[in-house]
A = this chain, B = another copy of it.
Amino acid sequence: MSLNTFGHLFRVTTWGESHGPAIGCTVDGCPPGVPLSEADIQPWLDRRKPGQNKFTTQRKEPDEVRILSGVFEGKTTGTPIQLLIENTDQRSKDYGEIAQSFRPGHADITYHQKYGIRDYRGGGRSSARETASRVAAGGVARQALAALVPGLKITGYMVQMGVKRIDRSRFDAEEIELNPFWVPDAVAAREWEEYLDALRLAHNSVGAVIEVVAEGVPAGLGAPLYGKLDSDLASAMMSINAVKAVEIGEGMAAAALTGVENADEIRMGPNGPEFLSNHAGGILGGISTGQPVVCRFAVKPTSSILTPRQTVTASGQDTDLITKGRHDPCVGIRAVPVGEAMMACVLLDHLLLDRGQTGGVRGRIG
């Protein structure tokens, strides 16, 4: 299938470079009759928007989305929805050094090796800017989910920045929107501010872990064995720039558990079976259980830093490179709305797939 498309029935194809005239995506397969306007998508883009505080790139982009097709009289028509976001702040600068040298830890060198040519302006296609298109597509997916599965709720937040982890005993969902890190822990928020500030002033950057939880996901989404809900979540999250790992439920920690510990026991409740725990993260055998779907992913530290690193030039010379410009000290911060968007797209896609094969009918228990 296409290499810049994801999804089976609800498909998103993104395009565009950091410093081209615009970026965007085509959303295909959206159910018809879903209420949709720019106003439904813009708020999600605003959350990801750069330049909102000193912890994100100072590039100033309004990230205003335009719907160019697929919507008529305020509703989706079932035909492709083209979402376009103009690049307004491509600061005119000399790219000389970046053009010739490869940033260590960056895609510069692999693009050069694979394609023999790369748009080095602001990282071109490999810029985190591409994630704006994902967030826009996620906005469409959220509208469709709201129409099809009232009550489904997707929440993303940071649980780790560098060596700092949240204290889950202090978990406070209210707090997420109140700090620049989307961290659900007021104490951590304060500590992280100092921590990241110090790293930033030291011309350094740091990684992060984001957790995305979807509540109200119906049982039965996903399928064995290669169209599993968790396989598609893993692929979707890993496709986000700088992500190096994806976990479902217990994730890596599942390795240290015994079968007795890991078994999510079940008891009948007033409305059917109830799980007494959720080590599985809401997915068994690639299919949703009806419990919250819990996904985490790790974002590596920004590779563009002001500290000189050893590298080589395209002409094969050794050199030391300092990456000037406007870069996030922790790109993981802005990955929170991106992870939420990918979750929304994957869930809608599997909702449509399930409806296609099974008609959405569920096997009875009790």
Q: Is the CB of A29 within 8 A of B17?
A: no
How many copies of the chain does the oligomer comprise? 4
Cα of A110 to Cα of B285 in the assembled complex, Å: 7
A75 within 8 A of B: yes
Cα of A304 to Cα of B263 in the assembled complex, Å: 9
A116 within 8 A of B: yes
A309 within 8 A of B: yes
Q: Is the CB of A13 within 8 A of B119?
A: no
A312 within 8 A of B: yes
A89 within 8 A of B: no
Cα of A165 to Cα of B110 in the assembled complex, Å: 33
Q: Which B residues are CB-close (under 8 A) to A68?
A: 15-16, 20-22, 24
Q: Which B residues are CB-close (under 8 A) to A361?
A: 116
Given known A107-B287, A244-B251, A268-B312, contact A224–B258 (CB-CB < 8 A): no
Closest B residue, CB atoms, query A81: B15
Q: Which B residues are CB-close (under 8 A) to A290?
A: 113
A139 within 8 A of B: no
Q: Which B residues are CB-close (under 8 A) to A286?
A: 107, 110, 239
A143 within 8 A of B: no
Q: Is the CB of A226 within 8 A of B244?
A: no
User: Other CB < 8 Å A-B pairs besides A109-B266, A245-B245, 15 of them?
Assistant: A3-B29, A5-B28, A9-B356, A14-B80, A15-B26, A32-B114, A33-B115, A102-B273, A115-B358, A162-B255, A162-B257, A230-B238, A235-B238, A245-B252, A262-B303
Most chain B CB neighbours (cut-off 10 Å) among A7, A21, A32, A316:
A32
A318 within 8 A of B: yes
**When each residue 345-366 of chain A gets 1 if its CB lies under 8 Å from chain B and 0 otherwise, what string results?**
0000000111111111111111
Listed A/B pairs (8) with beta-carbon separation below 8 Å: A14-B226, A15-B80, A15-B81, A16-B69, A79-B224, A206-B258, A207-B254, A234-B238
